[in-house]
Every structure is written in structure tokens, then in C-alpha cells.
Amino acid sequence: MLDAASVLGDRLTAAIHAAFDLEGVDPVLRPSQFADTQANAALALAKRVGSNPRAVAAAILEKLDIADVGEVEVSGPGFLNITVSPQWIAGQIATLVADERLGVPRQEPRTIPIDYSAPNVAKEMHVGHLRTTIVGDSLARTLEALGHRVIRQNHIGDWGTPFGMLIEHYLEVGADSAEADLLRTDPNAFYQAARVKFDNTEDGGAWARKARERVVLLQAKDPETIEIWKGMIAHSVEYFHAIYSALDVTLTDEDLAGESFYDPMLADVCQELIDKGLAVESDGALCVFPEGFTGRDGNPVPLIVRKSDGGFGYATTDMAAIRYRAQTLGADEILYVVGASQALHFRMLFATAEKAGWLSRPDGSTVTPVHVQIGSVLGEDGKILRTRSGAPVRLSALVQEAITAAGAAVAETRPDLPEAERAVIAQEVGVGAVKYADLSVAHDTDYVFDMERMLAFTGNTGPYLQYATARIRSIFRRAEVDPEQASAPVSITEPAERALAMALLGYGATVALVGDQQVPHRLAAYLFELAQAFTSFYDACPVLTAPDEVTRESRLTLTAATLRVLTAGLDLLGIRAPEQM
């Protein structure tokens, strides 16, 4: 990677090995007010090697080869203060500019299924689906950028007992009716209409009996029932994709792997768990009791894999899914981007899968399942965001509200633009604002939804970053230069140039960190800091009115590199960078 910390870290680790014959020692790099970085390894190593920290630092320094990078000196009790040279920075920027990957490493490829979004058929996607959908999508984009084989898995709720009443209602209203079209436009209304019929007692429960009989037909794969079910699913999937399109999310039909997909595997999963001695009868149900999981009463907590009535629960489906992903898809790692409230369930699921041997391979390697825990979106009252009536906020309504608000702002600031162009900008800014507000927060923490704050053009917001890219494009329009062609050598003479260049070099390491640790908020923070560094650079270092042509070309190169990195980074977050704002 191109950043100073990565380069110096490797050199320091090699120097420590040469000085003390110790492998893989962390050089303990930290920020310093006296240099670009400070290595504190000598303090940690002193006791281990039986010497004082300054002597250890001197021994490391003797073996340290960084003449091409910069200068180093021992200070204090044994710190190594390292200052990189302007020439090295300029050379690294030249490498970044010439690299279509902008310093993002191509890691050893792994196969990584990612389970995210997972809405329910015949139900609205609500604000609770927002975070899993956009966090999962950002992780998928990032891991693909790092060279991994990502398999998106949209585990939709498309099976189970409610489908008896839904299919019966769908059959009655007709596939081409306005009522059936509600699955695409207002799924909750369709569901509620079916529910009213199911709960009706005036007919002596006759309709409810028909619905229950329809469940039996569905589970028996009755051809007519399956065809009706497929048509209903198609309507709902069209609704899902309208939301995904509005959010610029990369899920497609090919990524659908709902509950129905795993239904044929459930009986076999249960039998395998029985054969391996993991599943036992308990109160008429078939249960797994993973070791180490007990309730408040001290009794073991079960995972119910087959209910007392012979039906299967969602835990059984999740077991079939993890077995399929590990053994059939050949996963090296499986990410579950699911609410934090499901943490216990996933710990028990992973423990069961490991005990069953599903995560082990013949070569001794193992599959790593990870629960990427998702926090909640809160209202101003600190509670789960809901409408005034107490219902969950519809995701489509929330997105449209953001687009409308962004449209009003664009109409006020850019009345000169054609209406169609303003509409495109409003879409990109509104959606970008919502996504960035979410992605800039650690995925496992809750945050308060504040439309006014997230649409602000100042501060740590999506519109601020989008405006930074639009501002840079306007610079190149005025310069009459194609930013793709700005690749002149860079000369680092001003502090603001140095700060911007050093920030640019950190992009590749940041993307790698996000992929390795599933932390998209770290990319958001990096992009915000980069945009701030560019603002400081632009204020302190004239670009178009630079004192000479060489300086002008150098600064245009830095400006173009900033545009490329900001645009690429926003794309990994799933956010578009408008041409102008």
C-alpha cells in the first residue's frame, strides 16, 4: 500500500527482526506532534530483550533502512520519530495517479456470501430495513473492490404459514386486479386485506380453514398453488427492486435466496443433526442445545429445529442456509448483516454449525461466519423511529421525503439549471444524504434520524462530500482541463499540499481496513477528512492562479487525484457524485 504507515510498518518490522531475531513484532505506530509518525515498539520490547528502551530504539535504528522514505531520530525514553520527505510523498502520489486502483490492494481472493436486506413478501420495507440494506451493499462493493468473490444473498421471507391466507386472497382478487397490484405498490394494504378475511368469524371460520388448507397445498408443492405463489412473489420482488433502484443498491433477482429456497433441505438438516447426536426431543420438539448457552434460570437454551407440530422454524432455515453457504457455495467467510437483537441467535447458530462440522474442510481450513450487528434508527425521542400513529416508517416514504427536501434545496441554490437536471441532482443528493448519515455511524450503534442535519451542505454529511466533488469538477471546467489527463509531476512545498497528499495516500489502507473489519464508517470518516484537507489546500494554495505553470500543473494533479479518490470512495458507500450542485 502507498501510505506512510504501511510502508514504515513493514520496514520497522523487518528492522526489529534483524536487530533481535523476533518475527512479526508490531512497531506500534502512533501520530506525533513532532513528526509524521512515531514508533513506540522499543518501549514494549525493552523488558522482553533485557535492555533499556533507548538502547532498543538505537538497535532498531541501526537496522532500519528508510533513507528513501525520510528521516528518523530517537527521542524521549525511546520513541522513533519519523518524518517522510516531500520527494517520497511526490513519488507515492505519482504511483497513485498512475494506478487505476488508487492504491487499493488486490487481496488473496476469498469467497464471501453476504446475507443482507431480507424483506418479507407482502409487507412494506420499513426503516428497519434501511441499515442492513445499505451497510450490506457497501460491504459487498468494498470486498469486490479488494478482489474477493462476493455472493449476495437476499434471504427474503417468502415461505411459511401466512402464505395460506395471502395466496387465498390473491386467488380471489385475481392476478391482474388492482388489489393484486398492491403487492407492488402498497404491500401492507394487501396483507391487511388478507388478514381481515382470515380473522373474520361471521362465516364460521370457513375462509380461515381454506387458508390453512392452502398452506398444506403449498407445502405439498401443489402445481396450481405454486403458480399462484410465484405470481405473488413476482409482484413483491418488483416492489423490492423499486426500493433498491431508488437507493442505488446492487441487489438483483439473481441474489434472491429466500426461505423457500432452503425448504427442501430442512428435513435433511434435522436428520443430520439427529445422526450426529446434536438434536434431541424436548417437550415434543426437536432441539439443539449448544454448549455454553443458558437462560437466567441456569437451564440450557434451545434452538428449536422442528416444532412439536412437525413444522420447521426460522432456526432450521438458518441452519440449512449456513450449511449450504459453507459447503455448496464454498464460502471462506459468511457475513450476516442483521440486527443486533439477533446476536444470541447467531452465536448459537454458529456454535451449532461448528459442532456439526459444517464449517470445517478436509484440508483443515475453516469457514468463518460473522454477524455484522446492525443498530436501530431512532426518532428524536430516542425510541425506534415510527410514524405519529406508531407504525414503522415506510422506507419508500422516507427516501422520497429526502429527495423532495433535496429538490427544494437545489431549486433554491441552482434555479439556473433545467428542471430535469435538478431532479437528477435531488435524487442523488437526497439518497446520498440518507445513506451517508447511516454509513458514517458505526453499524452496531443506534443513531437519531435527523433529516435537516443529514441534508446540510456543511459538516460531516453526504451533501458536503458530494459538493466537494462538484466543486472540483467546476475547477477543471474553468481550467478547460480533463481531470483524467491531469498527471503532471507533483511538487510538495506547502503544508496544505503535504497534508492533502498524505491524506490521499491513505485511501488503499482504509479500504482494506473496511473490508477486513466490516467498518464502512471508517471509510466515511476518511472521505470527510480528505474533503476537509482539500478545502484547506484550496484555500491556502491557489490552483488556477498559481504563481507559475509548474505549480499550477502540480496542484491540478493533486486536485484530480482528490476527485478520483472521493468519487471512488463514495461509490463504495453506494453514493453518487453529481457533476454539479
* CATH for the 4-84 domain, from 3.30.1360.70, 3.30.70.250, 3.30.70.240, 1.10.645.10: 3.30.1360.70
Q: Per residue in 113-155, pLDDT tens?
A: 999 999 999 899 999 899 999 999 999 999 999 999 999 999 9
What are φ and ψ of residue 383, in 5° steps? -110, 170
Q: Predicted confidence band at 333 (pLDDT cuts at 50, 70, 90)?
A: very high
Instruction: Quickly list DSSP for 150-174.
Output: EEEEB--B--STHHHHHHHHHHHH-
What percent of the chain has a predicted confidence (pLDDT) above 90?
82
Arithmetic mean of pLDDT over the chain = 94
The region of weakest confidence among 99-113, 188-202, 265-279 is: 188-202
In this prediction, residue 494 carries a pLDDT of 97
pLDDT exceeds cutoff 70 at 204: no
Helix (H) or strand (E) holding 346: helix 343-355
| 8 Å CB contact between 432 and 462 | yes
∠ CA 533-535-541, rounded to 5°: 95
Helix (H) or strand (E) holding 38: strand 37-39
In this prediction, residue 44 carries a pLDDT of 87
| Single-letter amino acid code for the residue at 575 | I
Length of the chain: 581
Region 559-573 average pLDDT? 99
Residue carrying C-alpha cell 468519487: 567
Q: In what order do the strands lie in the sheet with 368-374?
A: 149-153, 111-115, 333-339, 368-374
Q: Which pTM value belongs to this model?
A: 0.93
In this prediction, residue 2 carries a pLDDT of 87
Instruction: Quickly list DSSP for 176-224.
Output: TSHHHHHHHH-HHHHHHHHHHHHH--TTTTHHHHHHHHHHHHHHTT-HH
pLDDT exceeds cutoff 90 at 430: yes
CA atoms of 538 and 138, how far apart (whole Å): 30
pLDDT exceeds cutoff 80 at 532: yes
CA atoms of 220 and 237, how far apart (whole Å): 23
CA atoms of 133 and 244, how far apart (whole Å): 9
CA atoms of 46 and 25, how far apart (whole Å): 13
Q: Per residue in 209-249, pLDDT tens?
A: 989 999 889 988 999 999 999 988 998 999 999 999 999 99
Q: Predicted confidence band at 297 (pLDDT cuts at 50, 70, 90)?
A: confident
Region 64-68 average pLDDT? 93
What percent of the chain has a predicted confidence (pLDDT) above 70?
100
Q: Specify the 3-state DSSP secondary structure of 579.
A: coil
**Where in the sequence of the chain do the CATH 3.30.1360.70 domains occur?**
4-84
Positive or negative, the CA dihedral 92, 98, 103, 105 is: negative
CA atoms of 263 and 259, how far apart (whole Å): 6
In this prediction, residue 99 carries a pLDDT of 97
Q: Predicted confidence band at 201 (pLDDT cuts at 50, 70, 90)?
A: low
| 8 Å CB contact between 243 and 125 | yes
Q: Per residue in 351-400, pLDDT tens?
A: 999 999 999 998 889 999 999 999 999 998 888 888 777 778 899 999 99
HSE-CB for 2 with a 13 A CA cutoff = 26
Positive or negative, the CA dihedral 500, 502, 53, 27 is: positive
Of 251, 302, 259, 308, nearest to 133 by C-alpha is 251
Region 23-38 average pLDDT? 90
